[in-house]
Amino acid sequence: MNRITKLLKPKLNSLWCAVICLAVVSCNQLQQGRGEITPASSTDNNKKAIAEFWPVLDITVTKDKAVEERINKMISEMTLAQKVAQMIQPEIRDISIEDMRKYGFGSYLNGGGSFPNSNKHATPADWIELADKMYQASIDASLDGSVIPTMWGTDAVHGHNNVVGATLFPHNIGLGASRNTELIEQVAKITAREVMVTGIDWVFAPTVAVVRDDRWGRTYEGYSEDPEIVKSYAAAIVKGLQGSVGKDFLGDEQVISTVKHFLGDGGTVNGDDQGDNIASEEQLFNIHAQGYIGGLSAGAQSVMASFNSWHGVKNHGNKYLLSDVLKERMGFDGFVVGDWNGHGQVKNCSNESCPQAINAGLDIFMVPTNAWKPLYENTIAQVNKGEISQSRIDDAVRRILRVKVRAGLFEKPSPAKRVLSGKTEVIGAKAHRGVAKQAVRESLVLLKNNSRLLPLSPKQRILVAGDGADNIGKQSGGWTISWQGTGNNNDDFPGGTSIYDGIATAVHNAGGEIELSEEGRFKQKPDVAIVVFGEEPYAEGHGDIDNLAYQRGNKKDLALLKRLKEQNIPVVSIFISGRPMWVNAELNTSDAFVAAWLPGSEGAGIAEVIFTKASGEINYDFIGKLSFSWPAHSQQYVVNRFDADYQPLLPYGFGLKYGQPSTLSDQLSEELNIADKALRKLEIYQAAVQKPWESFISAGDTPLAITSSVENISAISFQTIDKQVQEDAFRLTFSGNKTAIFSFTSNFPEDLRGYVETNSSLTFSYRVDEKPSHQTLLTMQCEGDCSGSLDMNSIFEAAPIGKWQVHSIDLKCFTNAGVDMAKITTPFSIETSGTLQLSLADIAITPNDNKEAIQHCN
Ligand code: BGC
Ligand code: BGC
């Protein structure tokens, strides 16, 4: 088939469908996923497509006859309930040890920011204790005869990142810049060792997404926009985590790895997290599947199904991809684990029931929340009713047991007695931090270096500024202790260093002078200023953005850079980010500019590159090269090596070394694209609170900033809840003890006059869970003592309990009530002195809103 016909294929398919299958099966069903319901002729078609696009892999781990016999014997002794339990993976917040003893789950996980006893500062001993108890309970649950240990999976995605004190490596985007596969294998090896200290068997890494649209909130979890690096890195990481066959494969210091998220997660339309990938099959293979070629060939024992769809069909239910391609054609004989209730997103499924996913080839349901119990019961019932075949169940269990045998879980002692268990000195060990520091050095990409300002002599008077300078949480990004990477401070990183720490050491050792001031103030004029700034941490969909402009509408870091420049102080910018961003103005205002990505806990690695030795010699040169093209304007979010019309600001592979002339002009265009200037929806809360707003609760006293998913004070509590995806909404409970208020507030007043001029409205989704007992006010506040409130009781009282509603209020209602739109500090707050339970989501100011849904005020 030539290129054109391949690209046309989806269309041809529908045509074929319209003509041929009307009588056989509805087109809808057929197009929904090669494979969910497949007439014979399409199976032949599938076979042809498979052979055309997908290779048979040369996998280093092969089947062993004795192992297969052993597994078969076990399977023959298991009850259906025990088999299904192997396929259920609950989360530590939702099951007890007793549940494990009763059901004997095949595995369990802790999600991002989920710790033993819900204690962020849980010690390695606490982790081991939980691992050991779960293990023992799973043994108790086993059949007479065959004992089947459970296994624990965790997201160790840049080191053992849920554990305080662990070595945190740069996120994958930074590792991609280093182009060093040996280093990457070392990083993975160390991660495996630190994980083994806590008694955990399995990690959900590496992410091998090939990121095509930098607006995606998981861009930084990818090594590159190009499959080349991803493929070779995947193999190296898998080897580092699992060890090598014939050597240390799944030995005492290794963990099971998961190549994720299968398939096409980095290529969704608009970079939408969990969205739809519409790549042709050829592109799916050439671009998105390359990490699997690398990782599976190296022997990765598990694959995680992705939340995304391919041509509208959720991967968790796509038999063609999970079974026909991955297992049958490519020859993967490990297991496919689902992603966080991802099965619930398959058409006609819920978190509690999804035979479609099992039938498509999912082997383990990742089922956090209390959905695990109904899911377990429903799955058993579905096998009994014949909706899932016994042989599919046996195949899934065979795959799970095969991995357990290969991992030596039947032979290894309980987690507490394993070789590395409890060796706390291994966590955050000096040698480990040394490798992480090397990774930091090699990940830095020098974008600009006017007059060879870098490297700096450490003997000078140095000013360090910017809110990222002394902030290990910020420099580490998402998936850092907490899921979103928020709510951490430097004390949460014992043994780690901020970027400032490294600079201070270099300067002090050489006899230079240093001042640290976030706002860039100084007592004595410095010779040079190093300004560290960039994105705040985020994870997954919470990091999705709609264009790449840095600090659009709130150029506070640019103001700082300008202030220093105006005083004739040379400026070195260190930019922290999970993706390339449009920073033309910041580049213009910097003499040197370093893309530092998300370096992790060893910030000191940066000073080792940007400073010379005291003698003036170069200490370490820059090695990093862009693994993502750098955008020329804010709308250039899809810009990838080999694009037909490739015009980035800086191309893939760019990265200056010392001594090379800087090529960037100081007069890059600072014009925002027209499209950006048009008023677009101003989001206040969209799955998470949006910058510059922050959320607070208060009951007369000092407002409490909301930094985690649950916050409580006397009269009001806040809790994130799930509306469409996890934690995209929140519930407020007013107890009625006192007047209490929830608000979104910013320190920088926003000028919203343009929104009033374009007939915008304040829009939000709400659900009344318990009606208000007293008056409830929705208030906007402006700088100075200025505010305007609307009484919401009639609306909340009329709303049906427990049902999501959308409401919009003409902004003029607020101006009528006395609000000055030129300086809004709080665009939304809710206040009552009575009792009320109210859930909220999708809060925004929407221009030219559809008038029908609007609450008008004359
Ligand atoms: C949980 C995290 C988890 C994440 C996965 C969140 O709702 O709090 O623990 O890792 O979902 O998407
Ligand atoms: C993420 C996965 C992660 C899982 C468990 C999901 O939301 O997509 O990458 O492994 O949560 O925390």
pLDDT above 70 (res 180): yes
849 catalytically annotated:
no
User: 36, 501, 540, 810: which is the annotated catalytic residue?
Assistant: 540
Closest ligand (CA of 708): 1
pLDDT tens digit sequence for 387-410: 999 999 999 999 999 999 999 999
Atom of ligand 2 nearest to the CA of 112: 12
pLDDT in tens, 507-525: 999 999 999 999 999 999 9
Per-residue pLDDT band for 700 (boundaries 50, 70, 90) equals: confident
Q: How many Cβ atoms from other residues are within 10 Å of residue 200's Cβ?
A: 27
The Cα–Cα gap between 601 and 495 comes to 8
Q: Say which residue the tokens 């102080």 belong to.
A: 569
Pocket probe for ligand 1: among 108, 726, 728, the residue whose CB has the most ligand atoms within 8 Å is: 726
Ligand 1, residues 204, 727, 728, 730: which to mutate, most atoms within 8 A of Cβ? 727
- CA of 366, nearest ligand number: 2
Alpha carbon distance 1, 105 (integer Å): 47
| Residue 168 Cα to ligand 2 middle (Å) | 18
Give 157 Cα–ligand 2 centroid separation in angstroms. 10
Residue from 155, 272, 728 whose mutation best tests the ligand 2 pocket (most atoms within 8 A of CB)? 155
Cβ contact 595:447 at 8 Å: yes
**Residue whose structure tokens are 């099971």:** 256
What percentage of the chain reaches a pLDDT higher than 70? 93
- Among 211, 219, 192, which residue's Cα sits nearest to residue 184? 192
Nearest CA to ligand 1 atom 7: 726
Q: In what order do the strands lie in the sheet with 276-277?
A: 276-277, 309-310, 313-314
Helix %, strand %, coil % of the chain (to 5): 35, 20, 45
Say if strands 761-770 and 805-810 run parallel, antiparallel, or are unpaired. antiparallel
Q: Which ligand is nearest to the CA of 688?
A: 1
Q: Which tokens in the block code for residue 520?
A: 């860039």
Judged by its nearest atom, the ligand closest to the C-alpha of residue 482 is 1
> In this structure, what token pair is assigned to residue 525?
């004029």
Give distance in angstroms: CA of 112 to centre of ligand 1.
5
Question: Which atom of ligand 1 is nearest the CA belonging to 110?
Answer: 9
In the prediction, which pLDDT does 42 show?
55
For ligand 2, atom 11, which residue shows the shortest CA distance?
A: 340
Question: What is the Å distance from ligand 1's center to 484 Cα?
Answer: 9
> How many residues make up the chain in this entry?
858
Contacts of 360 (CB under 8 A, 6+ apart): 33, 35, 36, 316, 317, 318, 319, 322, 323, 346
What confidence category does residue 851 fall into, taking pLDDT thresholds of 50, 70 and 90? low
**Number of Cα atoms under 13 Å in the Cβ half of residue 51:** 6
Instruction: Using alpha carbons, select from 259, 265, 250, 246 the residue that is nearest to residue 306.
Output: 265
Instruction: pLDDT band for 352, please (50, 70, 90 cuts).
Output: very high
The answer on pLDDT for 715 being more than 90 is yes
CB atoms within 10 A of CB 706: 20
CB 841 within 8 A of CB 807: no
Higher pLDDT, 246 or 554: 246
What is the three-class DSSP state of 141?
helix
Identity at 72, one-letter amino acid code: N
Confidence of residue 1 (pLDDT cuts 50, 70, 90): very low
Q: How far apart are CA 764 and CA 821, in angstroms?
A: 19
Closest-CA residue, ligand 2 atom 12, reads 111
Catalytic residue among 155, 213, 339, 602: 339
Counting ligand 2 atoms within 8 A of each CB, the residue from 257, 258, 340 with the most, and so the one to mutate, is: 340
Atom nearest to 260 CA in ligand 2: 9
Any idea of the CA torsion for 609, 615, 617, 619, to the nearest 10 degrees?
-30
pLDDT greater than 70 at residue 15: no
CB-based contact 233:627 (threshold 8 Å): no
Q: What is the pLDDT of residue 523?
A: 97
What distance in angstroms lies between residue 302's CA and the mean position of ligand 2's atoms?
A: 14
Angstrom distance (rounded) from CA 853 to CA 793? 17
Ligand nearest the Cα of residue 108 is: 2
Quote the crossing angle between the two packed helices 390-406 and 65-77, to the nearest 10°.
130
Q: How far apart are CA 193 and CA 240, in angstroms?
A: 10
One-letter amino acid for residue 677 of the chain: K
Closest CA relative to residue 152, chosen from 194, 200, 114, 117: 200
User: How many Å lie between the centroid of ligand 2 and the Cα of residue 340?
Assistant: 6
Judge whether residue 7 has pLDDT over 50: no
Quick: pLDDT tens for 115-149. 999 999 999 999 999 999 999 999 998 766 678 99
Calpha distance 346→314 (Å, rounded): 6
CA dist list (Å): 54 to 152, 285, 292, 322, 331: 32, 7, 11, 13, 11
603 alpha carbon – ligand 2 mean position (Å): 26
User: Given a cut of 60, is residue 38 above it in pLDDT?
Assistant: no
CA distances to 109, 153, 156, 343, 364 from 340, rounded to whole Å, are 10, 12, 16, 8, 11
Cα 629 to averaged position of ligand 2 atoms, centre (Å) = 26
Contacts of 160 (CB under 8 A, 6+ apart): 154, 166, 167, 191, 194, 195, 198, 427
Please state, in angstroms and rounded to a whole number, the distance separating the CA atoms of residues 586 and 550: 9
Cα–Cα distance, 413 to 423 (Å, whole number): 16
Determine the atom of ligand 2 nearest the C-alpha atom of 204: 10
For position 143, what pLDDT does the model report? 67
- Ligand 2 contacts (CB < 6 A) are 111-112, 155, 204, 260, 339-340, 540
**What would you measure as the largest C-alpha separation in the chain, in angstroms?**
84
Q: Which two tokens stand for residue 302?
A: 């598990």
| Ligand 1 center from residue 483 Cα (angstroms) | 6
Q: Which helix (H) or strand (E) holds 44?
A: helix 40-53
Instruction: Say how far apart CA 647 and CA 639 lie, in whole Å.
Output: 8
The residue behind tokens 């926003």 is 750
Q: Which helix (H) or strand (E) holds 698?
A: strand 694-698
Rounded to whole angstroms, how far apart are CA atoms 193 and 828? 47
Q: Which atom of ligand 2 lies closest to the CA of 368?
A: 5
pLDDT at 32 over 60: no
* Amino acid letter, 101: R
Of 172, 204, 207, 351, the residue with max ligand 2 atoms within 8 A of its CB, to mutate for a pocket test, comes to 204
Residue minimizing CA distance to atom 12 of ligand 1: 340
Q: 285: which DSSP letter? A: I
339 counts as catalytic: yes
Residue 674: its pLDDT value, please? 57
| CA atoms within a 13 Å half-sphere pointing along the CA-CB vector of 466 | 31
Q: What are phi and psi of 87, to 5 degrees?
A: -95, 0
Q: What angle do CA 780, 782, 788 make, to 5 degrees?
A: 40
Residue in the structure block whose two tokens are 């630190």: 194
Query: Over 90: is that where the pLDDT of 453 sits?
Result: yes
Give the tokens for residue 424. Answer: 């706390």
Averaged over 753-766, what is the pLDDT? 87
Locate the ligand 1 atom nearest the alpha carbon of residue 113 and give its number: 9
> Can you give the pTM of this predicted structure?
0.85
Residues in contact with ligand 1 by the CB-under-6-Å rule are: 111-114, 340, 483, 540, 726-727
